[in-house]
Amino acid sequence: MSTAPAHYLAGPFSTRRVLLAAFWVWFGISAVWFLTHQNPLEAIWPLSLGLVMWGVLRFREPLQRFAARLPFPVYVKFLLFGIFFWDVVVENFGMSFKGDLNPNLFLSSFLWLGSCLGVMGAWWLVAQFFRFSPWEVFFFYGLKGVVGEQDFLVPLTIMQGQFLAAFVTIPYLIVVYGSGVAPVFVVLEKELPRPARRAGPVGAVLGIGLSGALFWVGALAWFKVVELLFGLKPVG
């Protein structure tokens, strides 16, 4: 039995299901490569993020009931769940529990809060005008990671002809980035606005572009505030 509602993936042999299955096979190949070419104790944590989206889908109903009981406006819930998945889960698992902005994991997550709020604010805004499925958000924001991570690592790798490196890195980055935002769209599926307009190419471009821009706006503004209030600067 599928863990995803019918409107996410219609039909057992639909094109979407086939493509999704192909992606997870691709991710499996990527996982084997990273586990055999890197320190497996470090590689296993970011790779384990591949279970996040499926876990959220598997337990979506209790998670949705829990979210419905929270006495906050939906936009506050959106930001709170975004902080949990993006800043707490993905950031720490993605970095194998090595604080990249500060050796202290709590302070590193605290310093990433501005970027997190920028990203989630962007997706909240775009979701007011376009209707996204969780899997669309997963792949759209994952694409943002593929394009921009590590100063355009994947595009530069492709330009340099290192196709194997790009092949194994692309699904890895999609999972890491997609797991930070898409679960929120599952947990709050029944509470989010449902605009008549489907996401389509325009929604995809806006989601990727605005989240990328507000990532940096949020980061720079938050770093300045934290430095002024606490004298704390990112070290990475």
The domain spans of the chain are 15-230
Round the average pLDDT of the chain to a whole number and report it. Answer: 93
Q: What percent of the chain has pLDDT over 90?
A: 90
Distances, alpha carbon 226 to alpha carbons 143, 179, 236, in Å: 30, 27, 15
- Average pLDDT estimate for 193-212: 94
pLDDT for res 13: 56
- For residue 4, is pLDDT > 60? no
pLDDT confidence tier of residue 15, bands split at 50, 70 and 90 = confident
pLDDT for res 1: 34
Phi (first) and psi of residue 131, to 5 degrees: -95, 120
Tokens read off for 173:
């980055």
Residue pair 199/70 in contact (Cβ under 8 Å)? The answer is: no
- Average pLDDT estimate for 29-33: 97
Core vs surface per residue 116-153: b (16+ CB within 10 A) or e: bbbbbbbbbebbeebbbbbbbbbbbbbbbbbebbeeeb
CA–CA gap between residue 44 and residue 61 (Å, rounded): 28
- For residue 2, is pLDDT > 50? no
Q: Tens digit of pLDDT for each residue in 177-190?
A: 999 999 999 999 99
- Average pLDDT estimate for 141-151: 92
Residue pair 89/52 in contact (Cβ under 8 Å)? The answer is: yes
Q: Tens digit of pLDDT for each residue in 44-97?
A: 999 999 999 999 999 999 999 999 999 999 999 999 999 999 999 999 999 999
CA–CA gap between residue 175 and residue 43 (Å, rounded): 13
pLDDT for res 233: 94
Distances, alpha carbon 197 to alpha carbons 106, 131, 180, in Å: 39, 6, 24
Phi (first) and psi of residue 115, to 5 degrees: -65, -40
CA–CA gap between residue 187 and residue 142 (Å, rounded): 19
pLDDT confidence tier of residue 17, bands split at 50, 70 and 90 = confident
pLDDT for res 150: 86
pLDDT for res 12: 54
